[in-house]
Structures are given as C-alpha cells and as structure tokens.
C-alpha cells in the first residue's frame, strides 16, 4: 500500500476512534485550577547519554523535590540521541563518543522512582529525540508525545551487544535481555511484540485495525508491514509512532503540548523560576562532566609522572593525580561508568595508588626523605 493510501486509511481511522478527553485532566486534583507543571529532563542540550547524564542518582533528588513541591502534572522531556541525523561511515561509528550503556538495573530504579514514588501524580513523556537505550524510557509511559522530527530508534544495540561466536550463547543472551527490556514496553501499555521487533532483527512486525484497536502481529500478515527485513530492527519516527498508536501526537513546544493535553491555561511558575527539574539536572550534567574532564587530565599527569625518574617528587604527583581520579569516581557514578567504558576501573586505580604509596614508603624508609620513618 502506498503512502497516500496509508495516510488516508489512518486519517479515517483516527476520525473513527477520536480520543476522549485527556486522562491527565481527569486525574487532576482540582480541575477548577490551572495545573501546576514540573518539567524533568532526561538529557538536556544534546547531552543525554544513558547511564551517565541519565542516571538514578540525580533523579532520586528530582523526585524528592517533586514530592516537596506537589505539582499537578510532571512532564518528562527525553533527549537522548547518541547518533546524529546523518549516516555515518563504519570508522566514524566506531569513534563516536556519547554511546549510552544498557544499565537495565539503574534504568529500572529510575523508572520505579517515577512510577512508584510519585505514581499518584499525572505524568506525560515528551520525546525530543531518542536513538539508543533511551527509547526504552520513551515507551515506558502510556501518555507519550513527541516532537515532530523525533525518532524512536536504536534498540537494535541490544542485538549488537549479544554478538558471539557461539550462536546458542548469542540466542540465549538476546532472549534474556529482550525479555528484561520488554518490561519497559509493558510499563507503557504496549504489546511486547513491538519491543521484540525493535530489539531482535529476526522478529517481524505488522499491524491491522481491529475495531477501535491496533492488532499487532509478529509476522507479515497484518495490513501494514512495519518490519519484514531479517537484517534490521523496527524503528519509528514521530509520524509512524502517532499513526500506529505509540504516541498521542506531536508537539514542538511546551505550549503546544499543553494544548494537545486539553489545557488552555496552566501554572508554569516552577518552569519559569528555575524551580522544576531543569536546573537541577542541568547542573548535575555540567558537574559530573567537569569532574570527568578533570580526571582525564589527572590520568595524563599520573602517566607522565610515572614515566619520569621515579623520584619522590614524581611519585607525589602521581599519588595526587590518582587521588583526584578516585575522588571523582566516588562522588559520581557517571564518572566511574565513563572510566569503565574506556577500559579502566576503580579497582585498577586503587591498585595503582597502593603501588605508588608502597614505592613512596620504600623511598622514605631507605633514606630518600632523610632517613627513618615510613609514610603514614
């Protein structure tokens, strides 16, 4: 079926199954008052790496703030696109930074903070753009809107991570992680066949209309074929996500989103005065990234110091640099994760620091610092 025919059919279907008033309005505690809104960024200003910029440690603080300020509506703004809007060569893909991590445990912790700790407050997911594991968050909220150019891509990374020379190991690993990840899809009220097709290239996906509902199929028998290529996973953009019921519509501004939710007026005092989650998350992202940059510089200083003569002065510089790195790791889980992503770990830095201290003690006890007495 061509695009024009598809558009016509979907337009008729949308007319036939016109949406009722927003359930968020029905949940509003006092419908006579404009709702007070609170925006929570999942990623901000192009920095939305899963596992670092988006980590439960900052959202624990945000949720605590939400409980204190008691807004009527929480808007989660997801901006987690680790890939730009052009095609990359293989070499460029390998060298790209900002690749998110599939830390499903931390993602479940973050999801629980919103679904359980403040689950009594109406929430809407607003996707700015999502390529990578952030798409699991996009699908985890039943009330989801997107920007008009947003993408819901990138869950094929789960299959890429499962690659193994042993086909049976690969098959079992992929099945396990698809099952875990589909928990997010179920949380948003979507059939798991959608999530499976977005993660496993071998899964097919099609859909038909069944009365007022979408009838999703894990084969090609549906009226509309979403994915029939065994080499690719299913992806959605803003238009197709809305056409097939994953999102409730496209909104390019906060005002547009509120209108689409059915509100003609609202209380945006928290957003205007920097009292919602935007400043808190923004400050966190700037802070951990500065510490990460500082720890990289410290690592370079440590390497140079250890390559020097090995005298007490060089060892002292190396010790100070390693302490800086470990201080950053202990303060920010995001910094620790970045080091692990680069092939280093906390245990390695601790071992290096111990070795440097041992060398300093030996120099001190051998008279390098004027005779007796070890380092304490």
pLDDT in tens, 334-362: 999 999 988 899 999 999 999 999 999 98
Question: Rounded to whole angstroms, how far apart are CA atoms 93 and 87?
Answer: 9
Provide the H-helix boundaries in 70-210. Answer: 90-95, 104-112, 134-139, 157-161, 167-187, 192-199
**How wide is the angle at C-alpha 16 spanned by C-alphas 14 and 22, nearest 5°?**
65
How high is the pLDDT of residue 91?
43
Measure CA 250 to chain center: 20
Q: Nearest CA to 139 among 190, 177, 104, 99?
A: 190
pLDDT score, position 24: 67
Beta bridge partners of 25: none
Q: Which residues in the chain come in under a pLDDT of 70? A: 1-29, 31, 83-98, 309, 367-376
| pTM (predicted TM-score) | 0.85
| Residues 153, 103 contacting (CB under 8 angstroms) | no
227: DSSP letter? E
pLDDT for 357: 94
Residue 11 exposed, middle or buried by CB count within 10 Å (0-12, 13-18, 19+): exposed
Cα torsion 226, 183, 78, 150 to 10°: value is: 0
Sign of CA dihedral 25, 30, 32, 33: negative
Task: Give the Cα separation of 180 and 130 in Å (integer).
Answer: 19
């Amino acid at each position: 079926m061509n695009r024009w025919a598809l558009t016509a059919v979907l337009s008729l279907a949308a007319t036939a199954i016109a949406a009722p008033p927003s359930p968020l309005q029905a949940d509003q505690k006092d419908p006579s008052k404009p709702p007070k809104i609170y925006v929570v960024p999942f990623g901000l200003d192009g920095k939305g790496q899963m596992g670092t910029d988006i980590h439960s440690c900052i959202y624990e603080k945000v949720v605590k703030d939400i409980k204190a300020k008691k807004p009527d509506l929480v808007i989660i703004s997801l901006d987690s696109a680790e890939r730009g809007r052009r095609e990359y060569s293989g070499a460029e893909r390998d060298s790209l930074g900002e690749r998110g991590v599939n830390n499903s445990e931390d993602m479940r912790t973050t999801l629980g903070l919103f679904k359980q700790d403040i689950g009594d407050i109406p929430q809407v997911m607003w996707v700015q753009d999502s390529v990578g594991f952030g798409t699991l968050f996009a699908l985890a909220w039943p009330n989801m809107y997107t920007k008009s150019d947003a993408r819901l891509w990138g869950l094929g990374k789960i299959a890429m991570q499962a690659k193994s020379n042993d086909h049976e190991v690969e098959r079992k690993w992929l099945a396990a992680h698809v099952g875990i990840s589909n928990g997010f899809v179920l949380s948003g009220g979507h059939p798991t066949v959608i999530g499976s097709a977005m993660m496993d290239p071998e899964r097919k996906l099609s859909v038909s209309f069944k009365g007022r509902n979408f009838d999703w199929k894990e084969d090609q028998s549906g009226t509309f074929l979403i994915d029939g290529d065994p080499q690719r996973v299913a992806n959605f953009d803003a238009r197709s996500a809305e056409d097939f019921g994953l999102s409730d519509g496209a909104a390019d501004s906060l005002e547009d989103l509120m209108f689409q939710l059915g509100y003609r007026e609202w209380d945006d005092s928290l957003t205007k005065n920097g009292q919602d989650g935007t400043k808190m998350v923004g400050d966190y992202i700037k802070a951990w990234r500065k510490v990460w940059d500082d720890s990289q510089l410290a690592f370079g200083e440590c390497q140079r110091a250890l390559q020097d003569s090995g005298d007490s002065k060089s060892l002292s510089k190396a010790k100070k640099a390693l302490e800086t790195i470990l201080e950053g790791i202990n303060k920010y889980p995001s910094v620790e994760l970045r080091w692990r992503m680069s092939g280093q770990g906390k245990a390695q830095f601790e071992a290096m620091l111990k070795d440097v201290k041992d060398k300093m003690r030996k120099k001190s006890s051998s008279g390098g610092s004027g005779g007796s007495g070890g380092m304490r």
